[in-house]
Structure 1
């Protein structure tokens, strides 16, 4: 199975490079011209010049594509975004009921992202990490932003369902989603515990 690799450094790296290979091919052409007499007495310059031209026109080396980050690295990205979200929310004003719901939601997210065995369990569940990342990066900021914009228009033209009610409902839905993520993680740990119990029982009978 073919694998891609980045050429080494130093002399060995250059010998393996595209520039050296292209220059070598052009240099061989120069030697061919020398053997046919076309290069004349200046054949060393012809060979060197063709080698240099080949090295110059060769395409640059393509490094290996970056490897995707592991689960822990991805969770660190989510944790960093969560920190920025908290800084942003500290500067906005919300009505008391929505502010209370938001505080509970942020507390839940913070507990899941707190470094430790809970975060390790979360990192092992890509769907849970995706749901949390989406909520932190997109959903919560969108809830707050649309509330502030809609409230501005409502002040000009009162009527219709209040922006506050929409905001409270949105935050409640996000909290329910966070609870489902937490319940799934808890269920995973319960299955793990049951599996170990079964293993010990079977080992004891053997």
Structure 2
């Protein structure tokens, strides 16, 4: 069935029909089967090759949907981890900001148009936050065996602060995009009214 719909078959069939027209008009004569088959073959040979279909990647809104599901898994993991109060507060601020960015609505629509922003969120949810917390939990256990070194809580607080700053920059970029869109629409309406 795939060959029947191919470009080679369609162009060969078109030239084969020309051969039949030549046969009915008397031009092909007694060699009409060779003329029809030959024209079909020529049409099949000169047809452009089939082009493979481009890969079907999920659209950004589907990626955000998957990321929301992963974020819920991350929240479940974080609920089971015991953190010091300062780190817990920073983590709460970070997860609230990530939740606001991933919340379905206008922010997610704007974010879906920014592949770098989606990548940053994906990296934060799937890699950076879990690794920071997991590393803290493992390091905290080892620091009990070797006291006197820099406490792992400080590293965790710094890491969460850096991740929060990165997410805040993304939120500011989303807000700026919407502000520019509003300004553009205002200018459009002003130009239209003149």
Cα offsets for 1:112-155 (capped at 9, x unmatched): 11111121111111111111110011100111111111111110
| Matching residue of 1:23 | none
Cα offsets for 1:71-97 (capped at 9, x unmatched): 111111211110111111111111111
SS of equivalent to 1:181: helix
SS of equivalent to 1:160: coil
Is 1:111 paired with 2:105? no
Question: What is the count of residue pairs matched by the alignment?
Answer: 149
1:105 & 1:175 partners in 2: Cα distance? 5
Structure 2 unaligned spans of 5+ = 7-51
2:173 to 159, 184, 190: 184
| Matching residue of 2:161 | 172
1:120 & 1:183 partners in 2: Cα distance? 15
Q: How does 1:125-140 map to 2 (within 5 A)?
A: 125-140=114-129
Is 1:151 paired with 2:140? yes
2:87 & 2:180 partners in 1: Cα distance? 36
1:106 & 1:16 partners in 2: Cα distance? 52
Tell me the C-alpha RMSD between the 2 structures: 1.8
SS of equivalent to 2:80: coil
Query: TM-score, structure 1 length as denominator?
Result: 0.68
1:116 & 1:185 partners in 2: Cα distance? 12
Is 1:100 paired with 2:89? yes
